[in-house]
Amino acid sequence: MLFQRKYVLALRRALYKYRYRKRSKGGEQEGEEMIKTENLTKEYNGNKAVDGLNLEIAEGDIFGFLGPNGAGKSTTILMLVGMIEPTEGKCIINEIEVARNPLKVKAIIGYLPEDVGFYGNMTAEQNLDYFARFYAMDANERKKRIEELLELVQLDGVSQKVGGYSRGMNQRLGLAQALLNDPKVLFLDEPTANLDPEGVFQYREQIKQLSDEGKTIFISSHILAEVSKVCNTIGIISKGTLIARGTLEELKNEFGRVGTENLRIIVETIEPLPEIEHEDIISAEYSEAKRKVVIESKSDLRDYISSELFEKGVKVKEMRMEEPTLEDVFLSVYRR
Amino acid sequence: MEAKGLFNVARKEFIDHLTSRKFLIILALFLVISAISMHQGIDNYNDRLERYKEQISQITGEEGIEPGYMPEKPSILLIFQMMSFQMSLLGAILAIVMGFDLITREKESRSLKSLLSHPIFRDEIINGKALGGILALVFAIGIALIISFAMLLLFSIVPDLNELWRIALFGVISVLCLLTYFSIALMTSTVSENSGMSIIYALIIFLTISLFLPMVGGMVAEIVVGEPPESPTYRIPPPPPTPNANENEQGEVIKPVKIEIPMDEEEWQRYEEESRAYWEKRSAIDGAIFTLVPTTNYLAVSSAVLSKNGGGLMFFGPGYRSETEGQDMLERIWKNILALIIFPLVFFAIAYIKFMRMDIR
Ligand SMILES: Nc1ncnc2c1ncn2[C@@H]1O[C@H](COP(=O)(O)OP(=O)(O)OP(=O)(O)O)[C@@H](O)[C@H]1O
Ligand SMILES: [Mg+2]
């Protein structure tokens, strides 16, 4: 029984994949717009929480929406899912304007709010069943779907009422809740906030699987590592405005050299190191009885260092170059 | 869209109420208390019935029945009238407990945001909550009536059709009364930041309209209308001058002497007219203030429905004005009926508007 369901799921996934691949191969312009905002603005007491945001996210993308606390991520998502009305501008999802037709949009999206909440006096199944009744599903379909989802988020077999859930369990149920209607577009507001490492790992697997099914996924987070692991495109928001947009690579290239123009080369050896000199070297710090050096330089000097050491018969234990990490990129962009 | 969402919300709310511990505890308390008073009421009724039968047998034993001497058969409806007092207190508490955290709890647990992310209109939520609450109230009162009915049968008292109809009407009126308090609680729940504040506001409103208003009602009427006109008979002349106040050694108080002035026919008539106008005005204001008190309205209407001749003294006494017709009664209590209907509507409208405008974050 269990095995059978898994089999069916896998088959369906494969089918989705096939269909999706075929479509993008078939000359159809890849990345039809699924989510779009035009001059989206939200004011709270004269302060702009979101300020003239223009976003375009293609169908099938996993979009990471990055920004520090209070940047306006949640506000943007709330407007996108039709929970609050924009002060100015509009949101369009699947060519439907959200503010004009919120119900039609809600029927095709899934939304995991930050700090998602449920009815504590009911079990996970009862909670999901309540929400599922707002869609066109009969009792059997609901039951099947809920079983499937609880298995996906590994809450099957939990008979406890939701009031007694841990925060991580709550968060996982939140994902199941967002997937009830098998949405085309998924909005996740800080989905890993309360998850343990194992939970985060499973969540990433689930996101990949959902993406394979062709869903467009919008993930907000303030943790870059989180977003970089699952997203293929990224937008960075700060103080309500979009300050960067592109794929991971594009962002790295665009912002990579900002603030950290220099490379760091770290060399560890078995014998003590000789002095290494080169015009590009800015500084060199020796440590561990001259068996380790951290060199800051203007260019990649690894070839040079390696042949220097080889000539002098010094055996190398490790040599690596540190490029600016995404973290650095992120911070440098934030701080501008 | 059909009302699918509305019914889904109402269904869930109804089940929530019926499975909530506080609802069950208060309902149980209410049922036990009504059963006890029902029992007393039935005893009382049986005593009366006994006396009535005696009287009847005495009368029929004699020659010829004097008209106007016919003793009245006691009504089982009196038993239900006792219930109405408990209903107005415990029922009010039940209704407030049911409603005070309906919205605040959703805000506090953040389930409202989850709920609203599914295809449902906001008004379906608030309407569904109201509908679910109404159904639970109907359920509570239905149970109470069924239990009392069962008790009647247990004591081999079988109500006739007319009495059944009146008992059903009494049930409807009771629902309206409880609905008033439920809508007050629902309103404070949409207006308040949290459940704690909500219950405090609800209690303040409850105490204001059920204790404070009746208390100040008379005072307000007097302030508005002023002192009653003075009777011409007892006009007090200015006190006679007391030249030697010190002479009174016994400490006796010297009272001014009332001097009766011979009645002036015209003056008297004017007085009567003034007086009538005064009391009419005063009782109108009094009445207006009292229609703001749900309990008064409820007791007035239910005692009218339950009293035998359809007429009414507000608190049932030994005698009934048999000349009172249904028409007359309706004239007297239509304001109370209207108030019982309008009150819940007004409070619900406030809750509705506030909920529709509420910022969901
Ligand atoms: N109801 C409100 N009234 C006034 N200001 C608000 C309100 N809600 C949000 N804000 C402001 O809007 C800004 C954006 O808030 P938002 O919750 O969108 O940030 P965020 O990017 O989601 O932050 P976090 O990472 O902490 O979740 C904040 O500066 C906040 O103070
Ligand atoms: Mg946020």
Kindly provide the ipTM of the predicted complex, given to two decimals: 0.78
For tokens 């059920």, name the residue. Answer: B210
Q: Do A83 and B113 touch (CB under 8 A)?
A: yes
From the number of C-beta atoms within 10 Å of its C-beta (0-12, 13-18, 19+), residue B8 rates as buried
**Model's pTM, two decimal places?**
0.79
Q: Residue B40: pLDDT band by 50, 70, 90 thresholds?
A: confident
Helices (H), B211-264: 213-225
pLDDT, tens digit, for every residue of B155-199?
A: 888 888 888 888 899 999 999 999 999 999 999 999 999 999 999
Nearest CA-CA distance, residue B30 and chain A, Å: 24
Q: Is residue B152 part of a domain?
A: yes
For tokens 């004239």, name the residue. Answer: B331
Helices (H), chain B: 4-19, 21-61, 77-86, 92-99, 104-108, 111-116, 122-154, 161-191, 195-207, 213-225, 265-290, 294-306, 326-357
The atom of ligand 1 lying closest to the CA of A78 is 18
Phi-psi region of A63 (alpha: psi -120 to 50; beta: other; left: phi over 0): beta
Neighbouring residues of B30: CB distance < 8 A, sequence distance ≥ 6: B86, B87, B90, B91, B94, B140, B144
Q: Is residue B262 part of a domain?
A: no
* Interface residue A201 vs chain B (CB under 8 A): no
SS (HEC) of B251-294: CCCCCCCCCCCCCCHHHHHHHHHHHHHHHHHHHHHHHHHHCCCH
Segment B120-148 shows an average pLDDT of: 94
A contact residues 166-195, partner B, Cβ 8 Å cutoff: 174, 177-178, 180-181
Q: Do A103 and B19 touch (CB under 8 A)?
A: no
Q: Do A116 and B119 touch (CB under 8 A)?
A: no
Q: Is residue B232 part of a domain?
A: no
pLDDT at B310: 46
Is residue B314 over pLDDT 50? no
Q: Which of B7, B22, B114, B359 to mutate to test the interface with A (most CBs of A within 10 A)?
A: B114
Segment B73-90 shows an average pLDDT of: 80
Least confident among A254-258, A309-313, B53-57, B213-217: A254-258
- Let me know the angle formed at the C-alpha of B222 by B221 and B226, rounded to the nearest 5 degrees: 125
Closest CA to A79 of B361, B114, B126: B361
Q: Which of A84, A129, A133, A186 to mutate to test the interface with B (most CBs of B within 10 A)?
A: A133
Instruction: Report the alpha-carbon distance of residue A170 to residue A158 in Å, rounded.
Output: 12
pLDDT, tens digit, for every residue of A47-56?
A: 999 999 999 9
By residue range, what is the domain housing residue B54? 4-224+267-356
* Interface residue A131 vs chain B (CB under 8 A): yes
Instruction: Report the alpha-carbon distance of residue A234 to residue B153 in Å, rounded.
Output: 75
Q: Is residue B167 part of a domain?
A: yes
Contact of A61 with A233, CB cutoff 8 Å: yes
CA of B188 to the centre of ligand 1 (A): 27
pLDDT at A58: 94
Residue nearest to atom 19 of ligand 1 (CA): A70
Q: Is residue B102 part of a domain?
A: yes
Instruction: Report the alpha-carbon distance of residue A113 to residue A110 in Å, rounded.
Output: 10
Phi-psi region of A207 (alpha: psi -120 to 50; beta: other; left: phi over 0): alpha
SS (HEC) of B297-316: HHHHHHHHHHCCCCCCCCCC
Q: Is residue B94 part of a domain?
A: yes
Give how many domains chain B has, as a whole number: 1
CA of A225 to the centre of ligand 2 (A): 17
pLDDT at A117: 95
Contact of A292 with A266, CB cutoff 8 Å: yes
Neighbouring residues of A153: CB distance < 8 A, sequence distance ≥ 6: A172, A173, A175, A176, A206
Question: Which residues have CB atoms below 5 A from the ion given as ligand 2?
Answer: A 73-74, 114
CA of A215 to the centre of ligand 2 (A): 22
Closest CA to A210 of A112, A305, A303: A112
Q: Is A82 in the pocket of ligand 1 (CB under 6 A)?
A: no
Contact of B183 with B347, CB cutoff 8 Å: yes
A146: which chain B residues are within 8 Å (Cβ-Cβ)? none
Instruction: Report the alpha-carbon distance of residue A286 to residue A184 in Å, rounded.
Output: 56
- Let me know the angle formed at the C-alpha of B233 by B228 and B237, rounded to the nearest 5 degrees: 95
B110: which chain A residues are within 8 Å (Cβ-Cβ)? 113, 115-117
User: How many C-beta atoms surround the C-beta of residue B68 within 10 A?
Assistant: 6
Q: Is residue B235 part of a domain?
A: no
* Interface residue A115 vs chain B (CB under 8 A): yes
Q: Which member of B109, B110, B119 has the closest CB to residue A134?
A: B119
pLDDT at B327: 63
pLDDT, tens digit, for every residue of B238-270?
A: 555 555 544 445 555 555 555 555 566 777 888
- Please give the mean pLDDT across all residues of chain A: 85
Instruction: Report the alpha-carbon distance of residue B206 to residue B211 in Å, rounded.
Output: 8
Closest CA to B141 of B184, B180, B183, B95: B95
Query: With pLDDT > 90 as the criterion, what percentage of chain A qualifies?
Result: 56
The more confident residue out of A14 and A280 is: A280
Q: Is residue B314 part of a domain?
A: yes
Q: Which member of A74, A117, A121 has the closest CB to residue B114?
A: A117
The atom of ligand 1 lying closest to the CA of A77 is 18
pLDDT at B226: 78
- Number of A–B residue contacts, CB under 8 Å: 68
Nearest CA-CA distance, residue B15 and chain A, Å: 11
Instruction: Report the alpha-carbon distance of residue B180 to residue B345 in Å, rounded.
Output: 8
